[in-house]
Amino acid sequence: MSQSGALHLSTGLQGKNVDKDQLESTVEQYAKYHDLHGGDEEFRKSNYSDLVNKYYDLVTSFTEYHWGQSFHFAPRWHGETLRESIKRFEHFIALQLGLKKGMKVLDVGCGIGGPLREITRFSSAEITGLNNNAYQISRGKELISLAGLSDRCNFIELGAYREIYRVLKPGQYFALDELCLTDKFDPNNTKHKDIKAEIELGSGLPDIRSTRECIQAMKDAGFEVIFAKDLAEDSECPWYHEFDPSRISLKTISNSRVGHLLTRAIVGTLEFLRIAPKGCNRLFSILQTASHGLVTGSREQIFTVTFFVLGRKPLKESDI
C-alpha cells in the first residue's frame, strides 16, 4: 500500500458506503466472523450475506483506488505490468467463450464491472453484471455511464450462484475464474491452516474450496467441464511480483516491510489526530493480513488466484 493510498483509506474514500461513525464497529463485526478473531466456518456460512456485504462495503473504494476497477488476478508475462496482465486475461476469457457482437452475456460476481466493460469493448457483446452488493452495483452503473457503455452493459442483483445453470440455454458456456486451494494444501498443517484463515479474513470468504471441489461443484450443477487449469502454473511472472514484501526496489518500496510499517504509522497518526475515523488502523491491518496470506499461499503453491474452468450446459440432459 502506498502512502497516498494510506491517506485515501484514512480520510474516508470508503465514506460513500460506510458511515464514518460506524466504521470501527463495522470492522469489528466483520473481523469476528473469522477464525483469527474467534469465529468459525459454520458461523460465516450461516451469516454469508452479512459477511460479504460488510467486506465489500469496507474495501471496495480502496480496492478500486489501489488495485484498479477489475477485482481479480491474472497470470503474468515478463515485462508485462499488472494492469496489462489483467486486461489480457479478460480478453482470454472473451475468446474462450467465443464472444461477439449480438451475444448476451452474464458476468456473475462482477464487482464494479471492470472486466465487464473491458470485455464489452473487446468483443462488442452485451453484458449484464450480477452482484449482491448494493454499493458495488451503484458504483458499477456510474462507471458504465462514464465509459459511454450504457447501451451494452447493465447491472442487476442476484442472490445465488445456483441460478447460473438454470438461466443458460443448452449448449451455452460458463467461464469460471476462482480462488482455490491446490492439492499441495495440507489441512493438518498448522501453517497452511493459518494462511487459509488469513486469505478468508482478507478476502471476505466463508471458506475456500480446493480445485477438485470446484470442478466437482461445476459437474454437480449439471455442467460438462470442457477445460480446467490452474493458470498460475504457466505464468512467467508471479502475479504478486510487485507485492512481495521480501522484494525491495524503488518501484516496490511501498509494499516492502519498511513501507508497511511507514504506512501503518501514517494511518495510526491520522486516526489519533481524528483526521481519520476510528477503525481505519484495524481495517488497514485486515488488508495487510490479506496481502500476506495471498502472497505466501501463492508462493508456497498451496493456493491459486487463477483457477480457470470452462463449462458447457449440455444440449440434452443425457449428455451430462
pLDDT tens readout for residues 112-136: 999 999 999 999 999 999 888 888 9
Q: pTM of the prediction?
A: 0.83
Count of Cβ atoms closer than 10 Å to residue 317 Cβ: 9
pLDDT of 66 strictly over 70: yes
Query: Taking the CB of residue 103, how many other CB atoms lie within 10 A of it?
Result: 14
Pair 17, 27: CB distance under 8 Å: no
Residue 252: pLDDT band with limits 50, 70, 90: low
Which pLDDT score is estimated for 162?
63
Q: Is pLDDT at 247 greater than 70 in this prediction?
A: no
Express as a percent the part of the chain with pLDDT over 70.
Answer: 86
DSSP states of 228-292 as a string? EEEGGGG-SB-TTTTT-TT---TTTGGGSHHHHHHHHHHHHHHHHTTSS-TTHHHHHHHHHHHHH
In the 8-state DSSP scheme, what is residue 176? E
Contact 14, 135 (CB under 8 A): no
pLDDT class of 257 with cuts at 50, 70, 90: low
- Higher pLDDT residue, 154 or 318? 154
